[in-house]
A and B are shown apart, each in its own frame.
Chain A
Amino acid sequence: MSDLFKRTAKYYFRQGIKLFSYISLGVLAVAVMWTATLLGEGDDWSRRLFLMLLEFFEFFMPYAAFMLSLYAATLNDGIVLSMGARRKDIFIGNLIKQGTYALCNALGYLLLALPVWEQGRIKHVLFVIAMSLASGASGYFFGYKVDKYNNAVAAVVAIVYMLLYVLIRYSFVIIDVGFSAYAFENNVVIYALGALLIFAGMEVLIYRANKYSSVVT
């Protein structure tokens, strides 16, 4: 294993941890404040709090991966490339970063789920991992394309992704959309597998885009 690869891998691993730390603190803070506004007298605040934290965590953490990955191709990776990193190491480095973020999300979700543990929670852990990977990869790929197009395209992509994400995550509340909408709870694993397929597909596209990428100033 080359020295440059090790330095690159270490850098991206730290980026993954940093990303998780900043985003999770933000998401949890918002979730706590949101829950506090909803609590009434006599409510079992601890159970409601943890359920809300889980809801926010499961929804926002993977989506945040998409938004922040939009920056990665042109900013973070551009800086790293300008400092002598190899493109193949950057590609693997981003896999490490996304994997670290996804695993941290899973661990975070598990920790939050402990006080309100139910049997079905494991499926949600899989969903969090898969969606984090898919979202991160999708954002990263579109980040490459934003370089070619403009901010308006990035905004549209982000909104469309958000709508699709809402559709998947909250499909159990959608009634009569012209096709059979499967309840999320019954098909979490299917969604997770679908997300992993998206992740794999995106990584193939990213590999091609990354191969001849250049530093943009």
Chain B
Amino acid sequence: MGVLAGKNIVKKYGKETVLKNIDINLETGKIYGLIGRNGAGKTTLLSILTAQNPATEGTVTLDGEAVWENEKALSRICYSREISQVTMLGTNNLKVKEYLATAKAFYANWDEEYAKELIKLFKIDAGKRIRGLSKGMLSVVTIIVALASKAEITILDEPVAGLDIVAREQFYNLVIDEYANTGRTFIISTHIIEEAASLFERVIIIDGGEIKFEENTEDLLARAYRVSGSAEAVDKAVSGYKVYNTETIGGFKVAILLAEEPGIDFGEEVHIEPVSLQNLFYAMCKSAEKGA
């Protein structure tokens, strides 16, 4: 098992610090979900982990070797990111097939047959120019590059943006199939948490340039509770716990909290339900807003 590790990663753009002393260890052979609000630092973190962006401070290693300018490390990683339709000097006139041909040229394990199957599956016109693609089709191209690269560590940054429900389900099934057949590591950044949560073996939650949680998804959700009941009973039951969000309607109150361990008994006066990853993340974001 390998480890893609980032230690004390700091990234500054001028006076703004986008990533603040991030320590992260990503073990190979797992599917990670990276979630965070817009501007939290997800893309910046991923681009630094893959040496596509230099860190201001800190180191990134893969199995102990620096990733920066390291062929051995870079050959094991694919970071398929959002494709720009517009460049600094005009539109991106590359055709899809030219873009994929570039990917074929650089990814040592590129599977051309698989790429062709994916082109057919997602019904994309490879002769079309990137500037003319819809948002969904752009996502399809990044998915094709990621999957056909057959890279040991495959990172996808918001791969389902703009995809319809059928295409999204196709993508999730493809990731599961690839993982089951090859044991590849996937790190998927997404805002559509509810759908993708079942894929994630481990979840990384990033906010304000800091990693808040990096944990086994099931373990995290086992510690999350939705406590509801009368306001008085809920307040009594949740006291001493980290409550992220509460909602009160009349005398009825709901609280989302994260305990230190699973299986907590909050008493009979309140009703306990599990919390989905999306709802937990939403509660964390609301809490952060209130804190700000």
Q: State the A residues within 8 Å of B (CB).
A: 2-5, 7-8, 10-11, 70-71, 74-75, 79-88, 143, 146-147, 150-151, 154, 212, 214-217
Contact = CB atoms under 8 A, between A and B. Distances in A.
Contacts of A150: 88
Contacts of B70: 86
Interface residues of B, number: 31
A74 B99 CA distance: 15
Interface stretch (B28-36, B72-80, B115-123, B162-170): B72-80
A8 B108 CA distance: 11
A71 B81 contact: no
Contacts of A85: 74, 106
A74 B94 CA distance: 13
Could you tell me the dominant secondary structure of chain B's interface residues? loop
B53 interface: yes
Contacts of B94: 75, 79
Contact of A87 (B69, B87, B145): B69
Interface string B138-151: 00000001000000
A154 B47 contact: no
Contacts, number: 84
26 contacts: A3-B71, A3-B108, A4-B71, A4-B74, A4-B75, A11-B102, A71-B89, A74-B87, A74-B89, A75-B94, A79-B99, A80-B106, A81-B52, A82-B52, A84-B50, A86-B70, A143-B89, A146-B89, A151-B88, A154-B88, A154-B89, A214-B52, A216-B88, A217-B43, A217-B83, A217-B84
Contacts of B83: 217
Given A10-B105, A83-B102, 13 more contacts: A4-B71, A4-B74, A4-B106, A11-B102, A79-B94, A82-B52, A82-B79, A84-B75, A84-B106, A143-B88, A214-B47, A214-B53, A217-B43
A84 B107 contact: yes
Contact of B106 (A2, A7, A143, A217): A7
Interface in B174-222: none
A70 B77 CA distance: 29
A88 B70 CA distance: 11
Contact of B69 (A10, A88, A147): A88
Contacts of B136: none
B106 A11 contact: yes
Contacts of B102: 11, 79-80, 83
Contacts of B84: 216-217
A214 B54 CA distance: 7
B92 interface: yes
Contacts of B283: none
Given A3-B71, A7-B105, A7-B106, A215 B47 contact: yes
